[in-house]
Structure 1
Amino acid sequence: MQNRYKERMNIALGFIEANLDKPLSLHAVASACHFSEFHFHRLFSALMGETLNDYIGRRRLERAINRLAYRREQSITEIVHELGFSSSANFAKAVKAFSGYSPSAIREPDEEHKSKIGKLLSKYGKAFSPADLYPACTRSALTGKSITRDITMNSKEVEIRQLEAQQVCVLATTQGYEQQGIFDTWDQLIAWASAQGIAPAQQARYAFCYDNPAVTPIEKCRYEAAVVIDPSVEVKAPFRTSTLPAGKYAVLRVKGNDEQLNNARLALYAEWFPGSGFEPDNFPLLERYHNDVREDGFVDLEIHIKLKSLS
């Protein structure tokens, strides 16, 4: 029964993500996942650890901050309208109250910008700095300050692949991006896949990474481990089935430590996308793993970002 509640809560979260640019009422969200609206707000708070309104407000502002950093071709006014804020003044007030920084300070990070304590820190305990949204070389260009720990994004390193749809078995971590929680989740999923006759060496392993930890508190980040399966394989709770959709993906292979991986993710958004002719589709960042960091001491993975033509 608990797993059925989680499945329906995942439907609610998907509905919220798809409609963050619109007014979201308790009735609309509860109806989408077939819960009684008279009880849904209590169920949501119990399962998610925050109220529905707090969750929607946080996700809307996290998306706004990511747009400010990674869609630099858009004006702040365009972002205001696209995300459904009533005015630029209300947008600026909401962003600063949440992050401690104004929209312009997030878009043009500078040590001289002074922050106030925002809700990210006071409510969620998440220290935030706009500079963390950008890779080292981009921070250097934006601030005019020399940063020795530099990286470059060579467009030839990024491959555009047309992928076919694949069915996957998914298990969500209950601890956000906390490392041990991710390891425990993968251990369960790998053991399950092995029991279905998919040997570890033959398992195609992906992760759905929904959130940017530079903005979202680590424990609130959504992470799902996934293994490709044949559609005939029976999947039972706590596991569930999902689909890697067909389409074009930007693919970048990264080998190194966590810092190098994080800089590669940021560089894709901050440097590669603006000149690519594409923008990210409405699908979470995927990581395909080629090794076990616990055994090798380094990560070897491919970042996959689903694409759509720049509108």
Structure 2
Amino acid sequence: MSVNKHHEERIKRVCDYINNHLDEDISLEKLSAIAICSKYHFHRIFKSFMGISTIQFVQLTRMKRASFRLAFESEQSIIDIAYEAHFESPEAFSRAFRRTFKQSPSQFRINPEWHSWHSKYEFKPPIVGENIVDIKITHFEEKNVALIEHKGHPKLVLDTVAKFISWRKETGLSPIKKSDSFGIPYSDPNTTPSEEFRFDICGTHNGEVPDNNYGVKSGLIPSGRCAVAQHKGSHDQISDTIYYLYRQWLPDSGEDLRDFPCFFHYLNFVHEVDECELLTDIYLPIK
């Protein structure tokens, strides 16, 4: 095993530990022990790969969860969110939040600047080994959905998600707890000009969608055979599972693709669980 791969495995192990233990006290000594590496060296190894220190990574990961709480859980107070993020006071949380995102928690709650927010999370932990557990062939039953189209920069999708959540809460149609939620990317966000990118956010709903100010309308996800892979963890890494389906599984499967984009079935949501607990089924339509 190369030295580089050995270090990648240590970093991946530490990142996984942090994501799974956000509510615990996390020290450099603890992380060095997880990495099985001297604390005098590991912090430099980590920063050389990730571009930030382990302690910065811990705080940014907690702040990421806090951001989703602010944006999508209006019933949670900023005080509770601050303490959950391991700050000693709401004031300390507010200072750190503003320093990081150039918005106060209150400003972010009202009008989050997602494009700037994404720039703080452009580091990417290494991928070690295969994270694909199983791929199944299934027949997807046709779904009538309410949908909202996102058109524009991929980093602003969460603005459109917030509108769809508001529509769901305001109307009581396609309630989050009782309906299925889907996402349909019509192209690869990594290769599509931002002005041409389209992503539909959908929730199951029978019947016509009443006229509304959110731009939500009726739609359909067609029935048909699909290959399904379950992605576990952050949506930031979901492309790794998608590329696995296209690059490795599809050529060996003997299957042909249908004329409909791959789509996601969200089994839980980032404002409800920590990112490490996210589960998303990825459907690849096949003939």
TM-score (norm 2): 0.50
Using CA pairs below 8 Å that are at least 6 residues apart, which structure has the higher relative contact order? 2
Query: What TM-score does the superposition give when structure 1 sets the normalisation length?
Result: 0.46
